[in-house]
Structure 1
Amino acid sequence: MGKGKIMSQEELHFLGIKVVYKDMVDKGYKVLNVRKETDVNPQILATKDDQRYFVVVRTTAYPDMGILVPHVAADVLKHGTKHNAICLFASVGIANAEGETDEEMGKPEVDGEYYINYKGLQDFPKYS
């Protein structure tokens, strides 16, 4: 494994946003705004076929995947309803591709090589 600097949570989060951004552009979305701050939701505002989309991105290191907590989902859904937007969630997991053990894979390095676990945009989970 390399001896590079381990990514901070903010760096992981921004890498996840870049993964989702590229996927959305490749699928024909027009991205209007991106917010990389971890405490601002949604991270991505986009349109496609005259429909507005709010996308919350959550990124974490291997072996986990980003999760959307209920109070954030509720806040974004409320905001999305006001703006006639469809709310989507993007869960991203990032592993250090040079890691040989689970522990090493769970420490992605700045400017390193990565395995990306991203299954595309998902509907918001339903909490009751």
Structure 2
Amino acid sequence: MGLLTEQQLHNLAMNVVGKDLEDLGYEFLAVNSKKSKNPQFVATKAKKMVFVVVRAVTYPDNPVIYNEELLQKVSKHATSFEAKTFYAGVGIANSISYELPVDSEEDYVLNYSGLIEIK
């Protein structure tokens, strides 16, 4: 197997955030697993729509720090749908040593603080 690709890391992050959204009671209207297409999730709960941008973040980068310009662009688009915008960064690291790349043969640790609302 070997090292996880950017897309595999992104898919892992998508699974974490998708499960969180389900647990929070959201229903999915659209899911886009391509990192280059934003938002990754469009979901609804109690007739309120949300746009969620998902990023897999590898050590030493901080998963709660996001691209302000990108998120403002998505937020502006969401406003036309009366939707709120959230960022969901999922930190992923090799559990043996954070310095090592994430490998499919080894355990990994996740650092996910939940949805961060973009205002």
Specify if TM > 0.5.
yes
1:109 aligns with 2:106: no
The equivalent residue for 2:11 is 14
* Structure whose CA Rg is larger: 1
Q: How does 1:92-103 map to 2 (within 5 A)?
A: 92-97=90-95, 99=96, 101-103=97-99
1:25 aligns with 2:19: no
1:38 aligns with 2:32: no
> What's the TM-score, normalizing by structure 2?
0.89
Q: Which amino acid aligns with 1:17?
A: M
Contact 2:71/2:87, CA 8 A, preserved across alignment: no
1:102 to 1:114, Cα distance in 2 relative to 1, 3 A: closer
Q: Which amino acid aligns with 1:27?
A: L
Q: CA RMSD in A?
A: 1.6
Percent of matched pairs sharing the same residue: 38
Contact 1:35/1:42, CA 8 A, preserved across alignment: yes
Aligned length: 118
In 2, the alpha carbon distance for the partners of 1:57 and 1:25 equals 15
SS in 1 for 2:99: helix
Structure 1: which 4+ aligned runs deviate by more than 4 Å?
none
User: What are structure 2's unaligned runs of at least 5 residues?
Assistant: none
User: What are structure 1's unaligned runs of at least 5 residues?
Assistant: none
> What's the TM-score, normalizing by structure 1?
0.83
In 2, the alpha carbon distance for the partners of 1:9 and 1:78 equals 27
